């Protein structure tokens, strides 16, 4: 089956585009990878990390509204987000390349 990513709660066309840049094209693929691997792959394309973007994905995969994440659960997700960001965003780039990538001057790596 090839269900669109935007069929997952909270995820719209922009998330679908980010996933496509990461080689994830269906809701089935995204569900199989899970939130952490999906978000890591999105970051590896050069997408700037944003905590809300991560927990929107987690909540969506659980069928919950994006703003349902609170308290200790949100704190735990922040720890996971920080670990994903540290391992996936701009990994292997020089400090100059990292800065240029973050401000959009160099082409995003895929």
Whole-prediction pTM value?
A: 0.79
Output the domain CATH number for residue 23: 1.10.150.20
Q: What is the pLDDT of residues 14-72, one digit of tens each?
A: 999 999 999 999 999 999 999 999 999 999 888 889 999 999 999 999 999 999 989 99
Alpha-carbon distance values, 11 to 15, 59, 70 (Å): 6, 10, 19
Number of domains in the chain: 1
Domain extent, residue 82, equals: 5-102
Q: What is the pLDDT of residues 59-96, one digit of tens each?
A: 999 999 999 989 999 999 999 999 999 887 756 666 66
Q: Cα separation of 13 and 100, whole Å?
A: 26
Interior CA angle at 80 toward 77 and 82, to 5°?
110
* Residue 30 domain flag: yes
Are 63 and 56 in contact, with CB atoms under 8 Å apart? no
* Residue 109 domain flag: no
């Amino acid at each position: 089956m090839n269900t669109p990513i935007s069929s997952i709660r909270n995820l719209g066309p922009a998330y679908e585009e980010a996933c496509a840049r990461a080689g994830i094209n269906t809701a089935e693929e995204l569900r199989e990878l899970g939130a952490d691997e999906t978000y890591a792959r999105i970051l590896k394309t050069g997408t700037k990390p944003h905590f809300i973007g991560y927990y929107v994905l987690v909540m969506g995969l659980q069928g919950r509204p994006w703003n349902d994440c609170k308290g200790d659960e949100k704190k735990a997700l922040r720890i996971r987000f920080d670990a994903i960001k540290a391992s996936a965003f701009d990994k292997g780039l020089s400090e100059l390349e990292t800065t240029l990538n973050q401000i959009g001057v160099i082409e995003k790596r895929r």
